[in-house]
Amino acid sequence: MIDLQLLNYLDGFITEARKKRFIEVLAERTKLLTVAIEDVYQMHNTSAVVRSCDIFGIQEAHIIESRYGKRLDKDIAMGSEKWVDIIRYRNTKECIAALRNQGYAIIATTPHNDSCLLDDFKIAGKTALFFGTERNGLSAEVFAAADGFLKIPMAGFTESLNISVSAAIILHTLTSKLKRETDDWQLSAEEKLVKQIDWTKKSIRSIDAILARYEQQK
Amino acid sequence: MIDLQLLNYLDGFITEARKKRFIEVLAERTKLLTVAIEDVYQMHNTSAVVRSCDIFGIQEAHIIESRYGKRLDKDIAMGSEKWVDIIRYRNTKECIAALRNQGYAIIATTPHNDSCLLDDFKIAGKTALFFGTERNGLSAEVFAAADGFLKIPMAGFTESLNISVSAAIILHTLTSKLKRETDDWQLSAEEKLVKQIDWTKKSIRSIDAILARYEQQK
């Protein structure tokens, strides 16, 4: 249940402009598209993908860290991680199972499969876009499980794009298409309120003391 | 005048596959769109923009280096610089004058002007896309001279994209639109042959000795 009274209470501790910004940003958020990042060992790349999620309105990012464990935690905890929900997995299998369970199609982004070019990609329901490492690409596991592939057409001698650049191009193109061509891409009213409470809490410095006071007053 | 006899001669020193690749890549090259990069002091960013030019078929990149002088030269000389023509300027004024002289419209890419969003941008003839530094954006000089502005719509809390990411998104979107919507974006037959000779030369290790032999035989 959403505690609207709590939200009203907390709103007193942030500026009107801040509150307005939250509502604006939430109006552009989607869970219809999500990303899954497989074992990217260069932390600044994961961080850059999460940043693109924030910029293009992807609310959830799935991070698989089988090889590098908890090392990423601290390093990617930059600004945008606050506004994008990060879901972590110890291996690819877990991540795919969780996404399938939520009804996502598994799409492998790769320069090595020509079956679908970015501009022709149709968003048919919930779609999870998988991104692999720069060096090795996605694992065989993702390829085997994939419901589809997605390639950015490249017309030069350079044969691969950095993962942060690929992700940005794909997220820009697909969120723009999503908003142009479909209707039900937004978060539900309830999901929006849950995130608004979460973001409001994150924006208040002495939130613990304030929450304690709220509980007493109730 | 194009020396077709020379091209035939040099073709003997590269593989058929290589030659085919040159022709394929040249078929996707354009000068209708070009980029100008203003004083980007992080060399890997300039290098990444040049790489995107190669990938999306932009044949010429203009680099303004007033503040950092020759420092960039060596560092950006990575793979893709071989295949994209780099034109260097000591200042923004020179660069704008040269581009105007060739009939290019000056378009300032910036998050700070809402007059035209990327998906609405119309490519009306030769277009030079200007990119500024991460920290300061484009100079006042470019803003004052600009025929138009271009913004990537951003829907999150993060307010700016890295220049290499912005450039990749814009080049992907606009080259794709260019090839879909216009006819005369390709290099001329003559321009293609000039580049083919250039690229063939660059692909032959002992090119100087081979050219000397060719001159003797002629």
Count interface pairs A-B at CB distance under 8 A: 98
pLDDT for position B129:
98
In this structure, what token pair is assigned to residue B48?
Answer: 């990444």
The sign of the torsion formed by the CA atoms of B118, A125, A47, B57 equals negative
- Separation of alpha carbons B167 and B169, rounded Å: 6
- Separation of alpha carbons A40 and A63, rounded Å: 9
Amino acid at the residue A110: T
Contact A135, A170 (CB under 8 A): no
- The whole model's pTM is what? 0.92
Closest-CA residue of B relative to A164 is B165
- Separation of alpha carbons B153 and B111, rounded Å: 8
Residue A122 three-state SS: coil
- Of the candidates B21, B158, B172, the beta carbon closest to that of A51 is on B158
This model of the complex carries an ipTM of 0.89
Higher pLDDT, A79 or B75: A79
Exposed/middle/buried for residue B51 (C-beta within 10 Å: 0-12, 13-18, 19+): buried
Which stretches in chain B have pLDDT values below 50?
A: 72-77
Judged by average pLDDT, the poorest of A67-71, A165-169, B49-53, B192-196 is A67-71
pLDDT for position A41:
66
Furthest-apart CA pair in chain B: how many Å? 66
Distance from the B114 Cα atom to the nearest Cα atom in chain A, whole angstroms? 16
Tell whether B212 is within 8 A of chain A (Cβ).
no
Tell whether A14 is within 8 A of chain B (Cβ).
no
pLDDT digits (tens, 9 = 90+) for A114-126: 889 999 999 999 9
Closest-CA residue of A relative to B18 is A157
- Of the candidates B28, B80, B155, the beta carbon closest to that of A28 is on B155
pLDDT for position B75:
46
pLDDT of A30 above 60: yes
Closest CA to A12 of A211, A188, A195: A211
Q: What is the residue-averaged pLDDT of chain A?
A: 90
Q: What angle do CA A158, B170, B189 make, to 5 degrees?
A: 60
pLDDT for position B76:
45
pLDDT of A72 above 90: no
Q: What angle do CA A132, B179, B173 make, to 5 degrees?
A: 45
pLDDT for position A158:
87
| Contact yes or no for B156 and A21 at CB 8 A | no
- Which band of pLDDT confidence, cut at 50, 70 and 90, is reported for residue A160? confident
pLDDT for position A74:
47
Q: What is the residue-averaged pLDDT of chain B?
A: 90
